[in-house]
Amino acid sequence: MSKRLGEEFELFARCIPSNAVEAQKWDMQVAFYAGASSLLTLIMEGLTPDEEPTNEDLHMMTNLHTELTDFHDLIKIKVAQEEA
């Protein structure tokens, strides 16, 4: 497991209710890594097979980054609300 993905999962896992059973926590981890795998597939299949990135490649990466940043911000809000 990549340390970086593991760290991101730990942040994500803070949104899992504290009373969740181990099976639920496992299912969330599986869903998280399945999402990461899907994202990697989208990136790898979406890149132009040229040696240098194209404008379309950069646009795709910007869109993915924006979507993920927006979701990350929602997680931060949820964690802050639960900790308050």
- Alpha-carbon gap, residue 50 to 52, rounded angstroms: 6
Residues 6+ apart with CB under 8 A from 42: 64
Number of compact structural domains in the chain: 1
Q: What is the pLDDT of residues 29-63, one digit of tens each?
A: 999 999 999 998 988 888 888 778 889 889 988 98
pTM, to two decimals: 0.67
Q: Is the pLDDT of residue 74 over 70?
A: yes
- Alpha-carbon gap, residue 10 to 16, rounded angstroms: 10
CB neighbours (10 Å) of residue 50? 8
Torsion angle, CA of 36/37/39/41, rounded to 10 degrees? 170
User: The domain containing residue 15 runs over which residues?
Assistant: 3-83
* pLDDT value at residue 6: 86
